[in-house]
Amino acid sequence: GSLGVDSAPGEGATFTADIPLVAVKGEPQPQRCFPAGSRALVVARSPFEAPYLCEKLRELGFDVDQAVDASHGLAVLAASPAPLLLVADAAIGEEAARALAGRATEAGTTLRIMLLSPFERRQFGPPAAFGFDSYLVKPIRERSLRSRLVEPIALAPSGNSRSLDAKRTVGHSPFRVLLAEDDEVNALLATRLLEREGAEVDRHHDGLSALEAAVSAMEGKGPAYNFALLDIRMPGLDGHEVARRIRKEEARLRHPPLRLVALTANALQEDRAMALAAGFDVFLVKPVVREDLSRLFAPDTAKSKVA
């Protein structure tokens, strides 16, 4: 590769980078679960993201209509055969999104996807409450788009796999996870992965709020947690202090220990030692992947102090 710069006094500079890249071979493409020429309706006004999404859907074989707002989208739904796919940007508003999803469902649309920013994800809550099947986080990645389009196959029940929508339970109670993470993107990722394992997630933005929730559960004032994921670096109380105080309250209340999982970007041995000393049982390094979280649901995980 090469680096270059073209500079002119009083006019500025242009920097260039030439990097030779080799396409990855052998990675299987997701199975397509829709016929070629299927219709898609994209309702979004973004000057960059909407055209990009339409382009990618056309590359995947869709005939795409784009509407810039809900009224335009409803008009397209009324005037044409029902699209197989509806993609609507949450930026159009809650009521508009609900109206679009409802009309598309009545028309026979198979798959309804909502586009959400990390902040809109918290504001809107579950997409199903608005009539959507799933969501994509902006900015959109092609791989994420493809995965959403094959979910009807990926989520089909089979004899050796648990439906990702099935709620994991302990006895007759749901498997509940306490998540303390101040970063919206990291929290969204962890929540999505945990929900795909069937857990119910109680997310808190800071250490003090998470501590209060944990103590409330110990005192029987709220549902119990099966384990807690605590970010080490949080405003106010950090993860280490939250873990220490949880252990102190457990001793005071003579409550069985809650499994505590440390979330951190630091992977040094001294960081692990500090987590263990603070009372953590498991140590996970960001970015968290599904395999790491899946192991937390295994019966023998509680026996391992630091992973």
pLDDT in tens, 19-40: 888 766 655 555 555 677 789 9
Pairing of strands 12-18, 173-174: unpaired
Overall pTM > 0.75: no
Q: What pLDDT score does 225 carry?
A: 93
Whether residues 180 and 290 share a domain: the answer is: yes
**Domain for residue 159, yes or no?**
no
Q: What pLDDT score does 150 carry?
A: 65
Beta-ladder partners of 283: 262
Q: What pLDDT score does 261 carry?
A: 94
Among 154, 185, 218, residue at a domain's last position: 154
Q: What pLDDT score does 29 carry?
A: 53
Distance of CA 116 to CAs 47, 204, 284, Å?
A: 16, 20, 27
**Domain for residue 90, yes or no?**
yes
Whether residues 285 and 190 share a domain: the answer is: yes
Instruction: Note down the domain range covering 69.
Output: 39-154
Model confidence pLDDT, tens digit, residues 91-131 = 998 899 999 999 998 888 988 999 988 777 666 667 777 88
Percent with pLDDT over 70 in the chain: 83
Q: Whose CA is closest to 196, among 98, 72, 294?
A: 294
**pLDDT classification of 158: cutoffs 50, 70, 90:** very low
Whether residues 195 and 218 share a domain: the answer is: yes
CATH number of the domain at 213, please.
3.40.50.2300
Whether residues 287 and 196 share a domain: the answer is: yes
Q: What pLDDT score does 236 carry?
A: 83
pLDDT at 304 over 50: no
Q: What pLDDT score does 88 carry?
A: 95
Among 120, 154, 188, residue at a domain's last position: 154
Among 154, 177, 205, residue at a domain's last position: 154
Pairing of strands 12-18, 39-43: unpaired
Distance CA 213, CA 203 (A): 10
pLDDT at 57 over 50: yes
